[in-house]
Structure formats: C-alpha cells, structure tokens
C-alpha cells in the first residue's frame, strides 16, 4: 500500500524539495478579496517559506447547527505535511491581554451609546479549542470510526508576550513578534516525524483528509485554460449544485441536473468521481466534447475513467474484438455510435457511478446504451444545459429521474450576465452568482467582406493594455476550425504580437498535443465547458439571429471570468444592436 498518486501529501520527485508550498485554494488572485491583508501576507510567506512537502489550506470554514441555532467559525490556516500531520494556525493581529488563566484578543467595539469605543475581549483558548473540536467532530461524522489528529499554533505577529504565560497556553506553540522570524522553523519542528500511533492503515486516511479540508475551504477544482496543469485552478462557489446534490436521498439514485453555464456542473461531476474513488468503486465520466474530456482528465482522480462518447465506442469495439471504424470515413462518428449501441448489452452492469455531461448533445439511443452500463444500485448523474445545445438534438427522455434546475451562474461577472440577459440569449433570465462586478463587453467591428485579423489584434492589444496576460486570454472563433481563418490549422502563428497556441493533434497515448505559444486560439465549439479570464469572440458573422446563433453566442460569452471582447461583422453588429434596442 502506498500514498495515492496525486494526493497532496505525496513525496516529491527524486527526494528533492523546492521551497514553495502548495496552497488550497491556489487561485488566491481571485479569492483574495475574502482574505484580510495581514493574513494574505502570512499566506504568501508560508507559500514561499515552506517546501513542497507542505500544503497550506487557508480560510478553513466550519459550521455547527442544533436546536439553539447555528454557530460558524474559521481557522486561518491548516498546514499539512507529506505524512498527513496537520497544524492549525490561528493568527491574531489585535492587542493581546494576558491574565493568569488565559490570553485575550482585544478589539475595538462597534457598539452604540455608552458601549461606543469600548474594547471587546475574546478568549483565544476558547476560540482555538472550539475551532479544532468542531473540525474534528465534523470529520468523524463524515468518516465514522476515523479521527482527525490536528495540532495547533498561535501566531501573534504584532504582540510581544513578556513574562510567564497562562497555564492553558503552551509556549512552544506560540510565535509572537519577538519570534516572528522563526515562524517557518517552528511549523516544521511541530510537524516533524510521523503522527503518534502511525501505521500503514493511516495512508488510507490521506485522501480523506485532503478531500475534507478542500471542501472546508470551499475549493472545488475548476477547469480553466487547457495546458495550465502546472498549477491547480480553483474557484469559490457561493453555494452551488455540489452542496445540494449531496443532501438528496433517492432509491435508485438518478439525478438529472439542468444547470446554466457556470452553475457548477463540472464541480458536481468531479465530486461524484472523487466520491467513487474514495469508496474504490468503478466510475465512468462520459461527455461529448473531446477538449472538455482532455481538461477533465487533468483533475479527475482516475483519468482513465474520463472519455467522450465516441472514444468510449471505439474502446468498446476494440475490447470486444470487433472491426475498427475507419475514422477518415465521412460517416465515421455515426458508424461508431451505431456500433456501440449494438454491443452495449455486453457492457451491462459494469459501473457503480456513471456521470454523463453535456447531455443536451446526446441522442436518446446513446443515453439508453450508456445507462445500461450502470448497475441497478449505481449512482447516475446526468448534466445538461439546453441553452448550450450546438447540435439541435431533441431532449433525451429520462423516466423516473429526480430533476434539479439551477439558473445561477457563479463564474461570469455580474455585468456580463446583465449583457447576456439584455440580449435575451436564454429562455429564462440567468442569475448572477459571482461577487465580481467585471467589465462591460468591448465591441470591435470589421467590414462584412474584410478579414477579422486587424480587429482581433486591436481587441488583444486593448486587453493587454488593461493588464491581461496573453496566457489568461482565449481567442475563440464563432466558426468551426474547418472554416475559421484564425483558429484553423492554416491560421496565423502570431496574433497581436503573441505566439499562438493551438491544438495540433494527439500523441500515441491519446493526449492532446499543442503548439508552443502563450495565446490560446480555438473555436467556441471546442472550448465549451472551459473558461479564461478574458475571451475574444471573433469571426462573429450572421444575417439573422436564429436559435443556433443565440446558443452559440451564449456559450461564447459564458467562457469569460472577467472580460469579453466581441469582434463582429457590421451586419452581425446591426442584428445584435437591434436586439439591445428592443
């Protein structure tokens, strides 16, 4: 038995340590508005001062509810080493008052009348014990028979503790202003060695601890730009599908989720895969879009469990010893689908968890063949958004399934959601769930008969001037790759002074191969299910705003986390402006 590959506590390669701890959530740029400046400074210090043997979880939330009401708390940091030892760090930047029995943090009061300006004091010992006991209790409830062993450290960067400390305070677990330069070394000392009572059985707890703490910080892996697998990308969801789905009870477990773009469908899918992985159950994730599958493979606990429908059909044919389908044939994908439908009875009762994503792009016969692969007591999750249907297929009928709908987009900024609703891109208005206001969309025109190159490069130049790095921008063609002048294989190698990064095929292991560049260029079709900080939607050209154009534009706009630039022909701009004018 060994440490699970990819787990946060795994040993690094070659036994050499780099001095950079891993942060969870790691996307502190977008989440830092939730972190106080002194704590953010400490977080960056821990990241740079500890080696990659350590993981630092920050803003770890807990909640406890009973008949008397709900109590909430937060632990500033939890540092984990590669053996699974945990250290909770409570940082106090307030004035510290010592008594014979305790330490108190003194804060300015926000009272009224006679209380205005009076200081409020809070027991540090009580707060630390309450936080740790609540976290231990929640872990034991989630994993019966398992205990969360966690030590603690009090960090007082602005206070100096003179004289003898209260009996309730262990001086080896306090770093005040006089010992501030020793913070990292004290952490390493407290986490030295294996936990008390260590055994190989504890290795089984490491993935559980990682999953538990990741959820407590509100971190859910989120698929960003392809090729950014060197760092974990996370997003904070203010609620979302994952929270509610875990509270549903049904027999058999069959959940159909209709969620708008950015509602958390990918996070929910990943949660299902992680749960099956923890229970050592057979799981399968099937989607329609190959780039989405490639990106999901990067974050799934078992990449081999992630396939597109047609990839699954090809693998099934191969394993059944059936003749392969010639992929150069113009009807290759139709032939693959039909072949899979015919042999699917041989694959019945195979999986304990089955996740079908992009359900709006599946056909009824495909769905029936896939569902047949699940065991009778399996957990089945169907994810879809009819507003993102790009292939005009009728909705799949799923009899007896429980349905859930979420119109809340947690990814797109508020101003962009307002623009989407103003254009009427969905049947029902989308609700903005992001705390980010964002920016008004930029608009660039080119003549109907001209090339979009100059206008696209101007959009890129303006985004760079606004501070967006090329690696955080995606240029998406409104056309497919075959008809795009910019995104296709014959497109320019540079755009706006940046070297283009586009997919050039797949290697022998089926992994996508990309050209060497900073600026990702692709099509709206292929980028579905992914996101970038800034998105340039180019080659937008149509004479009428049909449902197909409406859905495609909705997909394109909802790929952006902060900013969108629309590069359209004059005639397309006229159609869109007419809609905006009502």
Does 218-409 match 13-199 at the fold level?
no
User: What's the pLDDT tens digit per position in 85-115?
Assistant: 889 898 888 778 877 777 887 754 433 333 3
Q: What is the mean pLDDT of the chain?
A: 80
**For residues 88, 92, 98 and 104, what is the CA-based torsion angle, rounded to 10 degrees?**
-90
Question: How much is the pLDDT for 68?
Answer: 35
pLDDT bin (cut points 50, 70, 90) of residue 67 is very low
Tokens, residue 7: 């787990």
pLDDT bin (cut points 50, 70, 90) of residue 337 is very high
**Which pairing describes strands 69-80 and 55-66: parallel, antiparallel, or unpaired?**
antiparallel
pTM above 0.75, yes or no: no
User: What's the pLDDT tens digit per position in 402-433?
Assistant: 999 988 888 888 889 999 999 999 999 999 87
Whether the per-residue pLDDT at 66 is higher than 50: the answer is no
| Averaged pLDDT, 434-453 | 86
Q: Is residue 456 a contact partner of residue 491, using CB atoms and an 8 Å limit? A: no
- Coil, helix or strand at residue 363: coil
pLDDT bin (cut points 50, 70, 90) of residue 484 is very high
Question: How much is the pLDDT for 22?
Answer: 85
User: What's the pLDDT tens digit per position in 552-578?
Assistant: 999 999 999 888 999 999 999 999 999
Question: How much is the pLDDT for 23?
Answer: 84
| Averaged pLDDT, 359-377 | 96
Lowest mean pLDDT among 12-26, 56-70, 503-517: 56-70
- H-run or E-run covering 382: strand 374-384
pLDDT bin (cut points 50, 70, 90) of residue 435 is low
| Averaged pLDDT, 29-49 | 69
């986390």: which residue's tokens?
561
Better pLDDT: 99 or 279: 279
**For the chain, which residues make up each domain, given as ranges?**
13-199, 218-409, 414-580
Tokens, residue 331: 């009807």
Spatial separation of the C-alpha atoms in residues 181 and 195, rounded to whole Å: 26
Whether the per-residue pLDDT at 213 is higher than 80: the answer is no
Lowest mean pLDDT among 150-154, 207-211, 402-406, 481-485: 207-211
Spatial separation of the C-alpha atoms in residues 135 and 196, rounded to whole Å: 19
């006229």: which residue's tokens?
574
Lowest mean pLDDT among 130-144, 163-177, 227-241, 473-487: 227-241
Whether the per-residue pLDDT at 31 is higher than 60: the answer is no
Whether the per-residue pLDDT at 528 is higher than 80: the answer is yes
Question: How much is the pLDDT for 103?
Answer: 81
Beta strands in 418-459 (DSSP E): 431-432, 442-446
Tokens, residue 35: 């972190």
Query: Domain 218-409, what fold?
Result: Rossmann fold (3.40.50)
Question: How much is the pLDDT for 65?
Answer: 37
Question: How much is the pLDDT for 226?
Answer: 25
Question: How much is the pLDDT for 203?
Answer: 62
Whether the per-residue pLDDT at 216 is higher than 80: the answer is no
Spatial separation of the C-alpha atoms in residues 344 and 370, rounded to whole Å: 7
Better pLDDT: 122 or 225: 122
Lowest mean pLDDT among 1-15, 83-97, 345-359, 466-480: 1-15
Q: Determine whether domain 13-199 maps to CATH 3.40.1350.
A: yes
| Averaged pLDDT, 206-225 | 57
pLDDT bin (cut points 50, 70, 90) of residue 505 is confident
Question: How much is the pLDDT for 119?
Answer: 47
Lowest mean pLDDT among 96-110, 272-286, 314-328, 499-513: 96-110
Whether the per-residue pLDDT at 229 is higher than 90: the answer is no
Question: How much is the pLDDT for 28?
Answer: 56
Whether the per-residue pLDDT at 12 is higher than 50: the answer is no
User: What's the pLDDT tens digit per position in 140-164?
Assistant: 877 787 888 888 899 988 888 877 7
User: What's the pLDDT tens digit per position in 293-319?
Assistant: 988 888 899 999 999 999 999 999 998
Spatial separation of the C-alpha atoms in residues 389 and 264, rounded to whole Å: 17
Question: How much is the pLDDT for 16?
Answer: 37
pLDDT bin (cut points 50, 70, 90) of residue 187 is very high
Tokens, residue 532: 């970038």
Whether the per-residue pLDDT at 10 is higher than 60: the answer is no
Query: Domain 414-580, what fold?
Result: Rossmann fold (3.40.50)
DSSP states along 458-492 = HHHHHHHHTT--GGGEEEEESS-TTT-SSSSTTS-
């Amino acid at each position: 038995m060994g440490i699970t590959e990819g787990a946060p506590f795994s040993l690094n390669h070659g036994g050499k340590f780099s001095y950079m701890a891993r942060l969870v959530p790691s996307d502190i740029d977008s989440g830092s508005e939730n972190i106080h400046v002194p704590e953010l400074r400490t977080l960056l210090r821990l990241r740079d001062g500890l080696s990659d043997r350590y993981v630092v979880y920050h803003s770890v939330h807990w909640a406890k509810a009973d008949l008397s009401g709900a109590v909430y708390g937060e632990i500033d940091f939890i540092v984990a080493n590669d053996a699974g030892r945990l250290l909770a760090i409570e940082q106090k930047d307030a004035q510290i008052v010592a008594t014979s029995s305790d330490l108190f943090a003194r804060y300015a009061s926000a009272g009224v009348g006679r209380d205005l300006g009076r200081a409020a004091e809070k027991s540090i010992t009580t707060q630390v014990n309450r936080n740790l006991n609540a976290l231990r209790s929640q872990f034991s409830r989630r994993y019966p028979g398992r205990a969360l062993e966690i030590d603690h450290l009090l960090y007082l960067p602005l206070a100096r503790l003179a004289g003898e400390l209260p009996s309730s305070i262990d001086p080896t677990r306090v770093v005040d202003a006089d010992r501030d330069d020793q913070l990292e070394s004290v952490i390493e000392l407290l986490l030295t060695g294996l936990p008390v009572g260590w055994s190989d059985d504890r290795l089984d707890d490491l993935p559980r601890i990682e999953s538990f703490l990741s959820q407590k910080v509100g971190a859910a892996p989120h698929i960003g730009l392809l090729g950014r697998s060197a760092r974990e990308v996370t997003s904070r969801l203010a609620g979302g599908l994952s929270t509610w789905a875990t509270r549903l009870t049904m027999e058999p477990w069959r959940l159909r989720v209709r969620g708008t773009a950015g509602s958390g469908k990918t996070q929910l899918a990943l949660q299902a895969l992680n749960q099956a992985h923890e229970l050592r159950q057979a799981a399968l994730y099937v989607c329609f879009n190959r780039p989405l599958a490639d990106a999901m493979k990067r974050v799934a606990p078992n990449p081999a469990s992630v396939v597109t429908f047609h990839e699954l059909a090809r693998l099934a044919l191969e394993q059944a010893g059936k003749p392969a389908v010639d992929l150069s044939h113009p009807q290759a994908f139709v032939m693959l689908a039909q072949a899979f439908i015919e042999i699917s009875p041989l694959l019945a009762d195979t999986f304990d968890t089955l996740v079908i994503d992009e359900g709006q792009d599946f056909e009824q016969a495909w769905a029936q063949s896939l569902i047949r692969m699940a065991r009778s007591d399996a957990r089945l999750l169907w994810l879809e958004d009819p507003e993102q249907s790009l292939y005009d297929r009728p909705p799949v009928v799923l009899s007896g399934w429980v349905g859930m709908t979420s119109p809340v987009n947690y990814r797109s900024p508020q101003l962009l959601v307002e623009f989407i609703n103003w254009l009427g891109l969905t049947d029902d208005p989308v609700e903005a769930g992001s705390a980010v206001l964002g920016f008004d969309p930029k608009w660039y025109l080119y003549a109907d008969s001209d090339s979009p190159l100059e206008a696209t490069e101007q959009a890129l130049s303006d985004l760079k001037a606004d501070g967006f790095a090329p690696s955080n921008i995606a240029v998406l063609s409104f056309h497919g790759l075959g008809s795009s002048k910019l995104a296709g294989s014959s497109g320019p190698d540079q755009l706006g002074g940046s070297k283009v990064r586009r997919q050039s095929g797949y290697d022998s292991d089926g992994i996508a191969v990309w050209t060497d560049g900073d600026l990702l260029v692709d099509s709206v079709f292929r980028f579905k299910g992914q996101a970038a900080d800034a998105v340039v939607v180019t080659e937008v050209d149509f004479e009428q705003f049909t449902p197909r154009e409406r859905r495609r534009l909705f997909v394109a706009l909802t790929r952006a986390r902060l900013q969108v630039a629309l590069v359209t022909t004059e005639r397309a701009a006229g159609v869109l402006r007419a809609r905006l004018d009502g």
